[in-house]
A and B are shown apart, each in its own frame.
Chain A
Amino acid sequence: MLEPVVQLAVTVPESFTGDIMGDLNSKRGKIQGMEQIGGGKQRVNALVPQGEVARYVIDLRSMTGGRGAFSMTFSHYEEMPQHLAQKVIDEYQRAREEAHKK
């Protein structure tokens, strides 16, 4: 099973960089690099499965008190971990069975 992976660029004040990277790691993100962009801000670039960051605007605002900004673009498809693939399949099968019952 393949999942879409997005290229994520997160801009935050430096003091939040650690939290942002920790959070991206927990979202199965691959950090590609960091850069200073002036004004005490840093940009973190990462590849992250789209399903993990569908609500990233909400997560980022709560982590940074609204001081973070981000952009994401589709990057590529990648093999997803087995247990997560299984979850997607199970959900689909369950939904199909329910539709049948109706």
Chain B
Amino acid sequence: MKTYDAKDIRNVLLVGHGGSGKTTLLEAMLFTAGALTRMGTVEDGNTVSDHDPDEQRRQISVSLAMAPIEWKDTKINVLDAPGTADFVGDVRSAVRAADAVIVVVSAVDGVEVQTEYAWELAVQENLPRAIFVNKLDRERADFGSTLDQLVSSFGNQVAPFELPIGAEHEFKGIADLLHEKADLYPSGPNAEESEWPDEIHQMADPAREKLIEAVAESDDALIEKYLEEGTLPESDIIHGAKDGFANARLAPVLVGSASQAIGIDRLLDFIVEEFPSPIERGPVAVIAKGGEEKERDCDPAAPLTAFVFKTVSDPFVGHITMFRVFSGKVRPDSTVHDATQGADERIGQLFALKGKEHETLAEVTAGDIGAVAKLQHTHTGDTFATKDDPVQLAAVELPEPLLAYAIAPKTKGEEDRLATGLTRLREEDPTFRVARNDETHQTVIYGMGEAHLGVQIERLKAKFGVEVETKPAKIAYRETIRGKAKAQGRHVKQSGGHGQYAVCEIEIEPLPRGEGFVYEDKIFGGAIPQQFIPSIEKGIVKTMSEGVLSGNPMVDIKVTLVDGKFHSVDSSDMAFQIAGSLALKEAVEQGGSRCWSRSFSSP
């Protein structure tokens, strides 16, 4: 693929609720642009975007996918984000790589939860957002009600630029409100220009009024003119609409059907003409090594700044790292500096990802998106820069994990392979975390929900060959005592050979929450030698850490050593440790918490 200048690049992220048709939209864009001879479908599992077996089986996207589209001398890098809440990590990172978002909404289902979430995310990042109302050819598709929902959810900045001509299976074209013309699709994805049909005026005239109003509201100078004259001249409407969109104050609503490839050529035109190029997005803020904030312009001659927004492990080529260049350029067979890890990375061949296919790139310059395989140190979220100026982009704010499972390999002896797989998955996906809980002796994985963890477990099997069992993560309970008790610990074995002799008597009592453990020696007159007093404590502490009743550590108790006996030859450090341990168990059983003793002594 040839190298494009930043002014001829558009980086677009598709977001929206699961099932709104983002993956099909990307497919339709590729088809319309002539990059595919035939459109795949999510149901058949043969789309460019859903190339992972997990996605084909589930019929939902579980991972960010992308494809470059060449349209009218412009390269449109389309990122297809998963719509399920479990995979928000990918969306959060991808927002950084994009210069504008298209919020895809199904005309059948209207505004849904993830539509709102995606919108809020774009607002937070101040990204221009367009809305694509999809599935207008479907039964029960209702453009009017979808538009009402959009306006009530996102306010007056929602501005219809287009209206559908015909409804449900008679949906056949688009009325352009900005230019007052119609585009019909009698066959294939290419529009035939036409006049507004008579019946559309009834709907289109008030919609155009609404559009003019929205354009006027997005700009102070225009609103004055509008209030004075009651309308705006054609040129002001078109310019105002463009500026309002670029400044994220106006959200154009476009319509179509991805599965029928209706309105897709218009959408591509709109992206080329109206979406901001990386240059128009302006410079990116970076943090220099000393913490100083500065900016980097979208200039291929500037020092390198690039953001790693996604890493995937591919069973055939290993790691694939996807990155967006903000300034400078990345060349094949060169070295870049991963400023986040503080390590140099060797760059081999550069390519553009089109689903799972690779298209070789001669270089990836400022404003563009590229991919590289087999990096050693780089994780998702890292910044590439130069060694002499290792700037970093602000970290992506990631949500806290919401669900935990304990996992173990099904087959003993695969622990190492499991550990390797988990490390890899964690490097790819910052919302996935792994921890070893020393207290419960479990390996615990944390993620954003059942589907997220389910996908990771399937990946462990498919990519690393480890089958795992899952259990709920154990809760870290604590044992303690409720009342005072006194008990003797007696460890005496003197039947031939080297004998063992230790006896101690302790009192236990509860301490207030959080006080931990207190050990006091109140032995009178040297009943046992001084050297064995810490031995008893050691035995008690060890038993407390293992727990007496439930395998959970014991806390918040005070132990007072009150008496003991020893033997001049057979007593030892170990014997007194055992005696201390026995004394504690006995005391807990006896009375420290009477109500537990029943179960403790039951078989």
Contacts and interface: CB of A to CB of B under 8 A. Distances in A.
A57 B449 contact: yes
A101 B464 CA distance: 33
A65 B85 CA distance: 11
Majority-rule SS of B interface residues: loop
Contacts of A85: 596
A25 interface: no
A77 B599 CA distance: 23
A76 B515 CA distance: 13
Nearest to A52: B475
Contacts, number: 75
A8 B514 CA distance: 21
A52 to B, nearest CB: 10
A58 B452 CA distance: 12
A3 B552 CA distance: 10
Given A58-B449, A61-B85, A51 B480 contact: no
B114 interface: yes
Which has the most chain A C-beta neighbours within 10 Å: B400, B472, B477? B477
A92 B473 contact: no
Nearest to A49: B475
Contacts of B114: 66
Interface in B471-520: 472-473, 475-480, 513-514
B113 A77 contact: no
B404 A89 contact: no
B551 A57 contact: no
A71 interface: yes
Interface string B392-407: 0000000010111000
Contact of A90 (B85, B403, B404, B599): B599
Contact of B475 (A4, A56, A67, A79): A4
A16 B580 CA distance: 55
30 contacts: A1-B549, A1-B552, A2-B477, A2-B480, A3-B475, A3-B478, A4-B475, A50-B475, A51-B475, A54-B475, A56-B402, A57-B403, A57-B448, A57-B449, A57-B450, A58-B403, A61-B449, A66-B85, A76-B514, A77-B513, A78-B513, A79-B480, A86-B599, A88-B552, A89-B549, A90-B599, A92-B549, A92-B550, A93-B602, A96-B551
Give the 9 A-B residue pairs with the shortest CB-CB distance, closest first. Answer: A57-B402, A2-B478, A66-B113, A92-B550, A51-B475, A89-B550, A92-B551, A57-B403, A89-B549
